[in-house]
Structure formats: C-alpha cells, structure tokens
Structure 1
Amino acid sequence: MARMTMVQALRSAMDVMLERDPDVVIYGQDVGYFGGVFRCTEGLQAKYGRSRVFDAPISEGGIVGSAIGMAAYGLRPVVEVQFADYFYPASDQIVSEAARLRYRSAGDFSAPITIRMPCGGGIYGGQTHSQSPEALFTHVCGLRTVMPSNPYDAKGLLIASIENDDPVIFLEPKRLYNGPFDGHHDRPLVPWSQHPSGEVPEGHYTVPLDTAKVLRSGADLTVLAYGTMVFVCEAAAAESGVDAEIIDLRSIWPLDLPAIVASVRKTGRCVVVHEATRTSGFGAELVALVQEHCFYHLEAPIERVTGWDTPYPHALEWAYFPGPARVAAAFRRAMET
C-alpha cells in the first residue's frame, strides 16, 4: 500500500495496465511529453514509448473516432478529453458510434474504450472548463458512466474500465485531484474535508463498475451523492447533527439500485446531492427511482441539492457549488416531516 493523491492513483492504474496488456494505448491532448494538463500521465511516455503513449491534435472527434477504430481492431484505447466541457465535438462519435457498435454489429465488434474527462469546478476555469455533464452520458444506451471520489476507487475503477469490453465515460472531479489546496489560488479544493489522498495498493486490483459504497452508515436519512459532493455531505452531516447514511454511487450508470433501495427503505428519507445544474440533472433520475421503488417507505418528500440553473459563474463558482450549509438545510427539512 502507498499513500496517493487521485492523480497518482490514476497514473498508477494506467501504468499497471500498460505493463500488463500490450493492447492498451493512451493518447489525447498533451498527455505524452507534457504528461497531461493535470499531470495524470506524467512519465508514462518516457517509460513505455511514443507508440503506447502519445499526443493527439486538438480534435476531440478525431481522438474518439480513431479510438473506436482501434477498439474494433482489438486494441484498448484510453483517451483523454482535456476537460469534460470539450466532449461536445466528439458527441456524435460517442453516441452514434461507440455506444452502439456492439448492438448494431450483433456482437461482432465491441468498443473497449475508456474516455477520461476532468469534470466539475474548483479551479476558476469559467464556463468552458468547469461543467458536470454526467447526465448527458447516462441518457445514452451502451455507455457506462463512472465518477470516483477517492484515490482507491479511482485506481480500481479505472483498471476495471480499461478491462471492460464496452465504452466507459470516466469522469474525474478536478477538486479531488491533488490534495486539499489549490496552489494557484491558495483556496481549499475540498474545504470541508482532508480526504483527497488515501491508501492505494501499488499493483493490479479492480473496483466493480456497478457497485455503490456506503461511505457513512446512519439511521435518519439516506444521502445519494458522487464525486466531490460525498465529502460535502459528510461535512453537512456533522454540521446538522443528522445521522445520515451517505452512499457514494461511484458508478453513476449502471446504478447500484439495490443498495439505494435497501438504504431508503431503512431510513425512510432521502436527499440527493450533485454539483451539476438542477433541471434534468442526474438527481432527477435518482428521485424518480427512489419514488418508484420506495414510495410506501418514505416519510418525507425527497430533497434535492444541486448547482443553480444558470450558466457557470466564473467569479462566483464557490457560491454555485452545493456547500455544507445548503446540504445541512436539506437534511433538516427532510427531518421536519
């Protein structure tokens, strides 16, 4: 075991798979010589060579499109879209080609592609470097969508994604990358927690792509969250005094519905938290599923705490994020009924 940040854990996962499987290749904008804008691939090109780890032009459609061809040929490409906001030029390749390849070829071809994307805010990146588009991917049949909240899960989920035979959208919350402080602004990336580094095995292991984790057991209410928000919810539980059971979804889709249902039926209350905008966010799907499967066990309306329905505010992003105070208020409202 070694103590790693999420960046180090992700790099370790790719290192393990490059050494273990000669069909794995890694490429994207600046991921080769430069090591990636967040340094997730630093040193991998020097270790494995330019035929295994290499840079790509600024063409997200070209990056993903070429990965589909490589995957159909038998390789396992791991491509980086430098920010999740940049995936839109590749959306046709992701939705119309990668997600449908197995079905439309009647199983003759598959697309074992992992598409890594830094997501969310916290670096004052403005509207084109801060989005949380996970709900758009969960709407597409044939895609898996994953978002880890800690280094151990990040490495295990990334290895499982690379080994999976279908396309995986692997979303990486930027606020959890490098520890509790942002060196550019000296602003806490996770101001309510000191959890972003953790013990991680140095070798090969996997975390299942469809299994949630109970991060904190509780009896009063169930909290459904993922990514950075799981730590916000931990702080909110401490602030509110509510005995909250916090479930880290980890795999956003496929969803571990049995774990969610078991928890809500136990507590009788539910709060859903995510960073993305509220309307048509993935939280709406979670609310619908809880209502469908747990209606007769609910003792209060389901609460939802999200980002605002507004273009991403550059200077005011810390007001945009759901924080412990907003989440704690939702906990109290759920307990009042």
Structure 2
Amino acid sequence: MSTQPDTPSADSTESMTVREAIRAALREEMDRDEDVFVMGEDVGNYGGVFEVTDGLYEEYGDERVRDTPISEAGFVGAGVGAAASGTRPVVEVMFSDFLGVAGEQIMNQMAKMRYMFGGKAEMPITVRTTEGGGMGAASQHSGTPHTWFAHFPGLKAVTPGTPKAAKGLLKSAIRSNDPVFFFENKLMYEQDGEVPTDPSYTAPIGEAAVEREGSDVTVVATQRLVGESLSVADDLAGEVDVEVVDLRSLYPLDTETLADSIRKTGRMVIADESPVSYGVHAEVVSRMVEDEFFSLDAPLQRVGVPDTHVPFSTPLEDEVVPDGDDVRSAIHQVV
C-alpha cells in the first residue's frame, strides 16, 4: 500500500494554503496548454468570491479568464460546447448548491456526449465548485452534494483533503479527457501544507492517499475531515493507533487502498461531510462488506451530516456539521 501514489517525486516543496495550491495548479496548466481557460461568475477582475483566481485576469487577459452572467445553465452549457470543440475549460460554479440549475447540461450533455458518440467526442471539462457548512451561509449555500456526481456515469468526482492533493488533483482533472468535478470545502482555503513545486507534479484521479499509518482503526476521510481526523489521531496516540486515509477520489473509488488498510486494522470509520444515507459513506461500507467482510473485527461507523439541510442558526449548524469530536466518538465506538 503506497502512501505516496503521486507522480513525479515531490522533493522540492513549498508551504501553500489550499487557495494558493489551486491557483498554482491553474497557473501551471494555463502556462502549459494554451487551450486551458477559466470561466465563471466573478472569476476575472474580482478574483473569485473566495479569491482563488485572484491575479489570473491580469496575467492572462479576458480571453482566458472570462467572467460570465449569473446563469449556471448558460455558462456550464458554454463550457460543454467549448470542451466538445477541443479546448479545456475550467468552469467555476460559485456554490455547489447551484449545480442543479445546470442539470440538463451536466446530466444529458456533459456526462453522456462521449458515450452517445461512441467515444469519438471527448469532454475535457473541469468544474470547480465550493461546498460545505460552517460559515452561517444557510441551506442554499452550505450543501455538500458531491455524491450526486460520483453516482452519475460519465463523470468523475474528486474531494481533496490537503493542499498537496488539491494541486495535484486539479492538474490531473484539467488534463483529463473526461469531465471532472472538483469539490472545494469552503473552510479549507486557509489550511496550509507542503506542496510540490515541480510543474509536472500530479495526483492520480482514482487513488487514495494514506496520510497517517496506524494499526488499530482506519479513518477514511474527505476534505476538511482529513485534517480533523489527523488531529484526533495525534491526540489518541498511545491509546489508539489510528490510520488516516484521504479518499481524494469519489469516482473512481480506490477500493484497493481501503481494503489493504482494513485488512491491517480490522476496523473502519468513514467521515465525509455529506448526508449519511445513500452516499459516500454507504458506498465505502458496501464495498468493504462485499470485499473484506472476513477482515472486519467490528461494524463500520459513519460520520456525516444527518439527513437534513444545514441550518442558518450557528448553534444548530454546529450540531449538524461533523467535526473531530464526531470522529473521536466513532473511533471509540468501533474499538
């Protein structure tokens, strides 16, 4: 089981926030390939509502950093057409809750075009979008719908849990000839870590990363909950030896790394900031039960959002959105 599946060697690194890592990935890919361009609401002069694209407009101009009207159906559809025509658009949807507005363009065009044309039409489009609670933004700006896109054939979906994964996965997404949805947790933009500076560095889509090795219990986490789980694992050191896996890719799912880990620990907690029913948690549980039932020493545990919307009230939001305390409770329950 590899803890460093990325390529190439990550010898030269620099401390970056998730925001800076994503911006670096965009800049490197735009320098590498003139067919790569960015489009979305306020991505240009304004620099993005979360400042991720800040400075790119000045560097590349309005032909390659394009502000769009407030119409997800319109600019996602334009991105689909641009990708089918041979360019590589990176489309930013400001909040993932609004992806439903572009449902036709995503489900019936983006996801199906390559299939409908017998593989002759490629669809090299990347959709960047933010998700998650914790900012008091109320239900329509706090959802975590990434499971929808992992579930739909023809689409890939990734959820990086570290700055390094954010840079590497975005570069792989942009280079992919299939549509990739790149989900950014809003509370992670200031999280920092060491990131490879080599412009050829990528993180393969479809490979999880073991961020911390352990022998007693595996915590499979996504996005913000990777960092929360690592903190919990450090706190529990000497009491419980926790292995933490950043799932990174929802589809394709790296069942092999998960199976390798559960064969070692016999116990697993799945932590993902999405509703617990019918989602990422359920898929990981199903695969482990199907493939590694006789490796299990205890029932698997899920940490996620109850099957409800995220409230506007801060105390209620804190109750609904999972955190490290929930991961800790699940670990104690499973061991």
Residue 82 of structure 1, CA deviation:
0.3
Aligned counterpart, 1:298: 296
Post-superposition offset of 1:149: 1.3
Q: Distance between the aligned counterparts of 1:67 and 1:239, measured in 2?
A: 45
Q: Bigger CA drift: 273-282 or 82-91?
A: 273-282
State which of 237, 246, 259 in structure 2 corresponds to 1:248. 246
Return the alpha-carbon distance in structure 1 between the equivalents of residues 253 and 215 of structure 2: 22
Q: State the number of aligned residues.
A: 319
State the 1:89 CA deviation.
0.4
| Deviation readout 1:148-189 (Å, 9 max, x if unpaired) | 11111111111110000000000011111024xxxxxxxxxx
Alignment root-mean-square deviation, CA: 1.3
Q: Deviations over 1:178-237 (max 9, x none)?
A: 24xxxxxxxxxxxxxxxx343441633211011110011111111111101112212333
SS of 1:289's partner is helix
Q: Choose the corresponding residue for 1:286, options 269, 278, 284.
A: 284
2:212 counterpart residue number: 216
Say if 2:143 and 2:309, in contact at 8 Å, map to a contact too: no
Gaps of 5+ in 1: 180-195
Match of 2:268 in 1: 270
Equivalent position of 2:117 in the other structure: 105
Instruction: State the distance in 1 between where 2:209 and 2:142 align.
Output: 26
Secondary structure in structure 2 of the residue aligned to 1:35 = coil
CA contact (8 A) 2:213 2:243 kept: yes
Against the structure 1 CA distance between its residues 103 and 85, is the aligned structure 2 distance closer, same or farther, given a 3 Å change threshold? same
* Residue 330 of structure 2: aligned partner: 330
- The 5-angstrom pairing of residues 1-337 of structure 1 reads 1-179=13-191, 196-201=192-197, 203-240=199-236, 241-314=239-312, 315=314, 316-335=316-335
Q: CA deviation at 1:17?
A: 1.2
For residues 116-150 of structure 1, the C-alpha deviation after alignment (integer angstroms, 9 at most, x for no partner) is: 00111222111111111111111101111011111
Question: 1:269: how far off?
Answer: 1.1
Q: CA deviation at 1:93?
A: 1.0
Structure 1 counterpart of 2:69, one-letter code:
P
Which gives a bigger RCO, structure 1 or 2 (Cα 8 Å, sep 6+)?
2
Partner SS, residue 299 of structure 1: coil
Q: Report how far residue 239 of structure 1 moved.
A: 4.0
State the TM-score, normalized to the length of structure 2. Answer: 0.92
CA contact (8 A) 2:206 2:254 kept: yes
Structure 1, residues 78-134: CA drift from partner, whole Å, max 9, x if none? 000001111110122111111111111001101100000011122211111111111
**2 CA distance for matches of 1:225 and 1:3?**
22
Q: TM-score, normalised by structure 1?
A: 0.92
Aligned to 1:191: none
Q: Do 1:29 and 1:36's aligned partners in 2 also have CA atoms closer than 8 Å?
A: yes
Given that residues 21 and 195 in structure 2 are in contact (C-alpha distance below 8 angstroms), is that contact kept between their aligned partners in structure 1? no
Partners of 2:278 and 2:269 lie apart in 1 by 16
SS in 2 for 1:97: helix
Q: Decide whether the 8 Å contact of 1:84 with 1:117 is kept in 2.
A: yes
Contact 1:279 1:309 in 2 (8 A): yes
Q: C-alpha separation between the residues in 2 aligned to 1:2 and 1:239?
A: 27
Say which is worse superposed, 166-175 or 314-323, in terms of deviation.
Answer: 314-323
Secondary structure of the residue aligned to 1:40 is: coil
Kept in 2, the 8 Å contact 1:150–1:198? The answer is no
Which stretch has the larger CA shift, 203-212 or 159-168? 203-212
State the identity as a percent. Answer: 41
Q: 2-side partners of 1:177 and 1:79: how far apart?
A: 18
